[in-house]
Amino acid sequence: MTAVEPATSSATDTITVRNPATGRVVGSVPIEDAQSVAARAGELRLFQTEWEAIGPRGRKRWMMKWQDWVLDNTDHLTEVLMSETGKSR
């Protein structure tokens, strides 16, 4: 059994994510075509000038906030990764 397998839906195509150790469904994600991915990347590029404008100190502040979030959510992130990969602690 693979951890990720395509699934179809009447509304949107998705990929069903399963725990490879148990086969239990742990989530699903939408399937995006190349054009959708390119469009999203283009949208995100619009924020590059803003990111550059805040300078190194501003970027550091954002990265430190992200680091705090990761540290505050380590247990949850570990559980998600374990469920998606079938690994144990």
The residue ranges of every structural domain in the chain are 4-85
Query: What is the pTM for the complete model shown?
Result: 0.67
CA distance 25 to 23: 6
Distance in angstroms between the alpha carbons of the first and the last residue of the chain: 21
The confidence score (pLDDT) of residue 5 equals 52
Residue 67: which H helix or E strand, with range? helix 55-72
Q: What is the mean predicted confidence (pLDDT) over 60-68?
A: 98
Residue 14: pLDDT over 90: yes
The confidence score (pLDDT) of residue 41 equals 95
In one-letter notation, the amino acid at residue 41 is: A
In one-letter notation, the amino acid at residue 58 is: G
Q: How confident is the model at residue 17 (pLDDT cuts 50, 70, 90)?
A: very high
Residue 86: pLDDT over 50: yes
Q: What is the mean predicted confidence (pLDDT) over 48-75?
A: 97
Query: DSSP label at 10?
Result: S
